[in-house]
A and B are shown apart, each in its own frame.
Chain A
């Protein structure tokens, strides 16, 4: 039986959910459904959408919103906060290390080939010191809860984690619709996230920057699935949203074309993959990107957030070693546990995984978004056999993990409160110092028993509360 976050083991409502339970009782199921319809109408009006790759249909589909908040007590958050910061710090230390001396590899703690032969490792970054030695400025860590006191990290996102706009919008809509729930000030606000993000980005201004740093958000354009988030964040930070064609490099600096002439840009919060940043440096066949951008970066004329090559830290093959990183760089024990992971690239791992595939969750090392994964217990024998063939063809491309007993959170169902599996993604900001807004994005699997929370696979979102007392 999965841990239901609303109840204690005896089945009574936990203190942190007491107020929400009263609100549910007072409003009634029919009342909640009416309010949910109102919320959906508002979302549709604002236009929050999240296009889904590879599924066809409406690219501007509304992501389902669930009215009932997911709640963490102050004590629970304190531990999460420490664990998240610890992990973000270790991941950045790892990135600095592998692009310099590679001490952790020399020490034999991580196999060298896993790093150097990995496509996510960018040789172009070797020996370069990014401002503040920060590579990943926004670390999104996907966490699941498997018991009252047990939080485990599912994966790290060190490149350009998305979804923070939902954290902000979900809170916005909840405070707008249910001001009473927030009137006592028990819920820690999250609306300072854009200001903290901007402060973080300004802290890593390049050596060439004089005065107040000019920050822009670089988007691939309006066809990108997260374009809404790009424009929303740029708007909240009061910075310009630009596309590659708006920028050019000259005299070692990056310039934005404006009607009043070129204007120097100091920091680029880029929501574009490494491959499409600069056709001269990375993908000679790419027509996208800003020619010369990488060289302006390497010579101190601009800062790219995140740094090219930051993805080596969130590679699923590297994930296994994050607890080692924490011990090696910080001399601490990991506060948040990793999920036991079998690497099909190893002989023992492959044998175990092929034998137990029906009990495991198998994933592609370089995949994301819940695509191309196999949930053994929920798959047919034929699906498992097909997947096993894929693993055999390229063992190094796959990992497998046990099926976790994910916690459930209260969710509004047709007839009342139902229990649905959820995960959690906080966003840790890393500049000269670390900042972590008390909250994050809770994604919930809306189908009973489903373990897949990705929005691309029919998951929904809900507001996440961290209580102050």
Chain B
């Protein structure tokens, strides 16, 4: 499947900023499940070149500018060919030590409730067990936008019982790690959710390590393993670690961020193009 992506993030400042630095993890990797046909990241129209792969094997770019400007427009766009590989994510060029992904962070630190949830999984085999975990996560945290923030931890989201994909993913990796299963947080794009609705924002899911198979992508929010509808940007220990855009601004305050993701089938020429945007 060929997916065309345009991901735009716009920052607006109260007064013109005099120094802006951006760390951009907006470069999907070349993997067995996805090949990059074309890709470009720009900030206010200027292309941002990619650094060597970071420690997690993901692409990164860095943008810095001094001067006076009241708006930053970050655009990542291109075409990615994806394959259905039953959730298996492979083809990484960089080896990261697995035990690293057992490390909990402030956002994933399990409390008694998370330990209990993890221990309640009866399935002895790894894959059914992870599927069961994914289902339990979805049951425990009802999808509700705006109930949590980017600073909400897995334990807090579980206690609240409401949240979004970030919270599902934090809870999934927290519980998996507490069971001794290496797990990581992944940021990326999804063509459409289970109901067929187009997503207008970045998505998050988890990858868990299964011996003999490798990394497997679990999207607890949608209750399935990753498919050819997913484009993977980057991974980390938690949402902070895998944030597609991190910024640092001097001399002003932010008055608004607007993110917009448009993802559609970039069908080969001649065939019909399915426009997911409304």
A298 engages B51 (CB within 8 Å): yes
Instruction: Identify the stretch in B97-105, B203-211, B212-220, B262-270 within 8 Å (CB) of chain A at 4 or more residues.
Output: B97-105
Q: Which residues of A in the span 254-288 have a Cβ within 8 Å of any Cβ on B? A: 279-281, 284
A248 engages B55 (CB within 8 Å): no
Chain B: minimal CB distance from A25 (Å)? 61
**Which residue, A124, A127, A279, has most C-beta atoms of chain B within 10 A?**
A127
Quick check: is B240 within 8 A (CB to CB) of the other chain?
yes
A299 engages B51 (CB within 8 Å): yes
Quick check: is B258 within 8 A (CB to CB) of the other chain?
no
Cβ contact of B21, chosen from A280, A284, A298, cutoff 8 A? A280
Chain A residue at smallest Cβ distance from B49: A252
Q: What separation, in Å, do the CA atoms of A113 and B246 have in the docked complex? A: 29
Q: What separation, in Å, do the CA atoms of A299 and B66 have in the docked complex? A: 21
Quick check: is A292 within 8 A (CB to CB) of the other chain?
yes
Cβ contact of B62, chosen from A112, A117, A126, A295, cutoff 8 A? A295
Chain A: minimal CB distance from B65 (Å)? 8
Quick check: is A102 within 8 A (CB to CB) of the other chain?
yes
Chain B residue at smallest Cβ distance from A286: B248
Quick check: is A249 within 8 A (CB to CB) of the other chain?
yes
A113 engages B51 (CB within 8 Å): no
Chain B: minimal CB distance from A253 (Å)? 11
Quick check: is B142 within 8 A (CB to CB) of the other chain?
no
Given contacts A248-B19, A248-B64, A280-B246, contact A127 B55 (CB under 8 A): yes
Chain A: minimal CB distance from B36 (Å)? 21
Q: Which residues of chain B are near A53, meaning CB under 8 Å?
A: none
Q: What separation, in Å, do the CA atoms of A264 and B180 have in the docked complex? A: 46
How many chain B residues sit at the interface, stated as a range, is 20 to 34
Cβ contact of A284, chosen from B56, B66, B96, B246, cutoff 8 A? B246
Q: What separation, in Å, do the CA atoms of A298 and B60 have in the docked complex? A: 12
B246 engages A116 (CB within 8 Å): no
Chain A: minimal CB distance from B27 (Å)? 14
B102 engages A292 (CB within 8 Å): no
Q: Which residues of chain B are near A281, meaning CB under 8 Å?
A: 23
Cβ contact of A124, chosen from B52, B55, B247, B248, cutoff 8 A? B55
B21 engages A127 (CB within 8 Å): no
B97 engages A112 (CB within 8 Å): yes
A291 engages B248 (CB within 8 Å): yes
Quick check: is B273 within 8 A (CB to CB) of the other chain?
no
Chain B residue at smallest Cβ distance from A279: B248
A102 engages B21 (CB within 8 Å): no
Q: Could you mark each residue 38-53 of chain B with 1 if its beta carbon is under 8 Å from any beta carbon of chain A, else 0?
A: 0000000000000110
Q: What separation, in Å, do the CA atoms of A128 and B62 have in the docked complex? A: 18
Q: Which residues of A in the span 410-463 have a Cβ within 8 Å of any Cβ on B? A: none
Q: Which residues of B in the span 82-121 have a Cβ within 8 Å of any Cβ on A? A: 94, 96-97, 99-100, 102-103
Chain A residue at smallest Cβ distance from B104: A117
Q: Which residues of chain B are near A248, meaning CB under 8 Å?
A: 19, 64, 66
Quick check: is A383 within 8 A (CB to CB) of the other chain?
no
Q: Which residues of chain A are near B243, meaning CB under 8 Å?
A: 284
B97 engages A295 (CB within 8 Å): no
Q: Which residues of chain A are near B55, meaning CB under 8 Å?
A: 123-128
Q: Could you mark each residue 224-256 of chain A with 1 if its beta carbon is under 8 Å from any beta carbon of chain B, else 0?
A: 000000000000000000000000111010000
Quick check: is B237 within 8 A (CB to CB) of the other chain?
yes
Q: What separation, in Å, do the CA atoms of A234 and B66 have in the docked complex? A: 28
Given contacts A280-B23, A280-B246, contact A249 B62 (CB under 8 A): yes
Chain A: minimal CB distance from B172 (Å)? 19
Quick check: is B54 within 8 A (CB to CB) of the other chain?
yes
Q: Which residues of chain B are near A113, meaning CB under 8 Å?
A: 99, 102
Q: List 23 A-B contacts (CB under 8 A).
A: A117-B99, A117-B103, A123-B55, A123-B96, A123-B100, A125-B55, A127-B55, A248-B19, A248-B64, A249-B21, A249-B64, A279-B248, A280-B21, A280-B23, A280-B62, A280-B246, A284-B240, A284-B243, A291-B23, A292-B23, A295-B51, A298-B52, A299-B51
8 cross-chain pairs, A with B, having the tightest CB-CB distances, nearest first? A291-B21, A126-B55, A291-B248, A116-B99, A280-B23, A116-B100, A112-B99, A117-B103
List 8 additional A-B contacts (Cβ < 8 Å) besides A250-B64, A299-B52: A105-B97, A116-B103, A123-B237, A126-B97, A250-B66, A280-B23, A295-B23, A295-B62
Measured CB to CB, the residues of A under 8 A from B are 102, 105, 112-113, 115-117, 121, 123-128, 248-250, 252, 279-281, 284, 291-292, 295, 298-299
